[in-house]
Amino acid sequence: MRELILGGTRSGKSALAEELALASGLAVTYLATAEAGDAEMRERIRHHRERRPPQWGVAEVGCDLAGELVKRAAVDHCLLVDCLTLWLTRLLIDPDPGRLARESEALLRVLPGLPGRIIMVSNETGLGVVPLGEISRRFCDESGRLHQQLAKVCDRVVLTVAGLPQVLKGERIK
């Protein structure tokens, strides 16, 4: 099962992903993509840590998300990736201009063949005004493209608004 959970800031997307991972009954590994670069981000990370069950494994993921997924995916395991947009941001600022395309292609190539359950969380940024800055527009464009491609290979796609999951593709949430 491949799932993509989208939503805006504080929409409830991470909480939903955590609920689904817990309800799966599988061993869970949380693949964290955030870096604690400032006090506000450290607080966000702390908040996420406190919500997670203590028995969950945690791995900090760099740019090689596809490699981490291949290494950790197993039939009796659930991998929760939170969040793709922070991963994408790392790739956008990488000094190698081709890395974003290579890493995105690798993710899309390996994802369909992975065993177990994969839940990916990402920010839906394409619902507002087109940003003024070039890097902000590129971020919105790249995340939109990635979401479209992931939606094609995922079994379920959910948009979360105000804590309410709206299933866009696949089986409804029980």
pLDDT digits (tens, 9 = 90+) for 70-121: 999 999 999 999 999 999 999 999 999 999 999 999 999 999 999 999 999 9
Residues 6+ apart with CB under 8 A from 168: 151, 157, 158, 159
**φ, ψ for residue 31 (rounded to 5)?**
-100, 105
Beta bridge partner(s), residue 82: 32, 121
- pLDDT score for 156: 98
With 0-12 / 13-18 / 19 or more C-beta atoms within 10 angstroms meaning exposed / middle / buried, residue 47 is exposed
Contact 87, 65 (CB under 8 A): yes
CA-to-CA dists, residue 72 to 31, 116, 158, angstroms: 10, 10, 24
- pLDDT score for 2: 98
- pLDDT score for 42: 77
What is the residue-averaged pLDDT of the chain?
A: 93
Question: What's the fold here for domain 2-169?
Answer: Rossmann fold (3.40.50)
Residues in the chain: 174
Q: What is the DSSP letter of 158?
A: E
Structure tokens at 141: 């464009």
Q: Verify whether residue 48 is a known catalytic residue.
A: yes
- pLDDT score for 128: 76
Binding-site residue set for GTP = 7-14, 32-34, 49-52, 60, 82
Rounded to whole angstroms, the Cα distance separating 68 from 61 reads 7
Q: What pTM was estimated for this model as a whole?
A: 0.93
Write down the catalytic residue from 47, 48, 77, 147: 48
- pLDDT score for 159: 98
Binding-site residue set = 7-14, 32-34, 49-52, 60, 82
User: Which residues of the chain have a pLDDT value below 70?
Assistant: none
